[in-house]
Amino acid sequence: MLFIADNPNKVGIRYEAAALDVMYHGVPLGMATVLGFEQPAHSSRLVQTHVAVDHFNVLQADALNLVRDAAINDRVDLRLTGDVAAKILLLGISTPRVQVIKLFKSKSA
């Protein structure tokens, strides 16, 4: 799965690895594992992650919608939620951890 991480701040950010919950229309699908990475100030970065699907009954109405979205639109809107530990980068030196609170909305093929 791919998503875009934006950093509109005046300083760089170092994100630590995280496990995020993946949801489709409020239905939990599984976990996405994101590796740690650094992001410069005022930048956007394409981040790739792998999703492990716990279980999903393909006979459910939401499952049919997911398959339809993937077939027709060639992508699926997913919601990623979870805690992401981050550090601010100043002149190449990282600060103590700060908490990042944001919902990630992803489009995945």
Residues 68-82: tens digit of each pLDDT? 888 888 878 888 888
Question: In angstroms, rounded to a whole number, what is the distance separating the alpha carbons of residues 35 and 99?
Answer: 17
Task: Provide the domain limits for residue 24.
Answer: 2-108
The CATH number of the domain holding residue 25 is 2.60.40
Domain count, the chain: 1
pLDDT at 14 over 70: yes
Taking Cα atoms as reference points, which of 7, 8, 14 lies closest to residue 89? 14
pLDDT at 11 over 70: yes
Question: In angstroms, rounded to a whole number, what is the distance separating the alpha carbons of residues 97 and 86?
Answer: 5
Give backbone dihedrals phi and psi of 72, rounded to 5 degrees, phi first: -80, -45
105 close to 79: Cβ distance less than 8 angstroms: yes
Q: What is the number of other CB atoms lying within 10 angstroms of the CB of residue 34?
A: 22
pLDDT at 13 over 70: yes
What confidence score (pLDDT) does residue 107 get? 56
pLDDT at 91 over 90: no
